[in-house]
A and B are shown apart, each in its own frame.
Chain A
């Protein structure tokens, strides 16, 4: 089944404790992206990648890192999480930036 998977689905952590949210897609898509969803703000792009070893900042990249060592994986790294990073996070993939397929989401709470 073609899909985007994210792990974990739910995470509660404390300020400053490094964490990684994994994202994997099995559709051989070039383009992958991370979004955060906050009430009243819609989805905002954090980082995106157009291919292996090619990443770039989206609209809200501060406090986040990403890497794209393999085509299928695009992990999101929070080196020192803060409470303002409490949000619902989505990974998405697409072929050349067209229709984007979203993962199920990761709900992160930073205390």
Chain B
């Protein structure tokens, strides 16, 4: 079945350093790749997403890259701050007419940013 593998499961960085989280997906028809941030006691919230016709997307300190051939996508956070500490989930889905938009999530990465 469809699967998304996410690594690492935990990541600890010093404030100001960069953090990278990687995901691999199995369904070659996936065309939408969102990243969600989950803070303690809250539901996941979308922080950035990318569609399969784009190789990279940036939003301030956050960037996502996509390699369709290798079926890899990654989240890059630069100049990390303590408030970036959270659980991050990658996901993949088939988005568009006729598709359900079902999200397949990775297992999650707990990011700790040390002051």
Which residues in A have some Cβ–Cβ distance to B below 8 Å?
Answer: 4, 31, 33, 35, 40-45, 48, 50, 56, 58-59, 90, 92, 94, 96-100, 102-105
Secondary structure at the B interface, as helix, strand, loop or mixed, is loop
> In the complex, what residues of A have CB within 8 A of residue B6's CB?
42
Task: Contacts A42-B106, A43-B105, A97-B100 given; indicate if A102 touches B93 (C-beta within 8 A).
Answer: no
> In the complex, what residues of B have CB within 8 A of residue A102's CB?
36, 43-45
> In the complex, what residues of A have CB within 8 A of residue B32's CB?
98
> In the complex, what residues of A have CB within 8 A of residue B100's CB?
48, 50, 56, 97
- Number of residue pairs A-B, CB distance < 8 angstroms: 59
> In the complex, what residues of B have CB within 8 A of residue A43's CB?
44, 89, 103, 105
Q: Which residue of A lies closest to B9 (CB)?
A: A40
The 4 closest A-B pairs by CB, nearest first: A97-B101, A102-B43, A42-B105, A43-B105
Cα distance A17–B5 when bound, in Å? 36
